[in-house]
């Protein structure tokens, strides 16, 4: 599976990605950053469906429709809070692998990720990029062919992720 980081708003990737990943909080009912942007772009129907999911544990993921977005699905995952999770690396790796498995189980070929846990949850960027690269590049897909890492407004972060991906090609 190929993976590349792009300087792009994940809500604008459109049909390039069958599913986008939402870096959500445990409630799945919206929050800040990427979570806010995805809920806003998808419309109020997303919040209604998320209410039926009864939250999500860190490291796990749940799937919803994409509603007003051009993707087929949104995969919501809850990353670790770096300073309070007892095993943040394991939790972050689980986020990526669980999302990949869910996408594969749905028969999807493309997926787009945000930088999980590096915002308000405080995960150091270089450590997060390394965990992401190792998890995604070691995953053996059934259907997935392409993964994108969507980084908005930060060329340096795009470079950090792409450098990490090159190490695991």
144-167 confidence digits (pLDDT tens):
999 999 998 889 999 999 999 999
Tokens in use for 143? 């259907």
Q: Which helix (H) or strand (E) holds 161?
A: helix 155-167
**How many domains is the chain partitioned into structurally?**
1
The percent of residues above 90 in pLDDT, for the chain, comes to 97
CATH number of the domain within which 118 lies? 3.40.220.10
pLDDT digits (tens, 9 = 90+) for 49-63: 999 999 999 999 999
pTM over 0.85: yes
Half-sphere exposure of 107 (CA within 13 A, CB side): 0
pLDDT digits (tens, 9 = 90+) for 6-55: 999 999 999 999 999 999 999 999 999 999 999 999 999 999 999 999 99
Return the closest-CA partner of residue 87 out of 125, 58, 118.
Answer: 58
Q: 113, 133 in Cβ contact below 8 A? A: no
Q: For residue 140, what are the domain limits?
A: 2-167
């Amino acid at each position: 599976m190929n993976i590349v980081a792009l300087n792009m708003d994940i809500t604008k990737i459109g049909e390039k990605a069958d599913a986008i990943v939402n870096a959500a909080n445990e409630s799945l009912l919206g929050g800040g950053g990427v979570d806010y942007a995805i809920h806003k772009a998808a419309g109020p129907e997303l919040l209604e469906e998320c209410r039926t999911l009864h939250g999500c544990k860190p490291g796990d993921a749940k799937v919803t429709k994409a509603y007003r977005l051009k993707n087929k699905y949104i995969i919501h995952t809850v990353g670790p809070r770096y300073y309070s999770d007892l095993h943040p690396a394991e939790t972050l790796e689980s986020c990526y692998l669980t999302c990949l498995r869910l996408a594969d189980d749905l028969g999807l070929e493309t997926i787009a990720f945000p930088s999980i846990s590096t915002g308000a949850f405080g995960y150091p960027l270089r450590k997060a990029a390394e965990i992401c690269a190792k998890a995604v590049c070691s995953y053996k897909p059934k259907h997935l062919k392409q993964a994108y890492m969507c980084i908005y407004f930060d060329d340096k972060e795009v470079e950090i992720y792409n450098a990490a991906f090159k190490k695991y090609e």
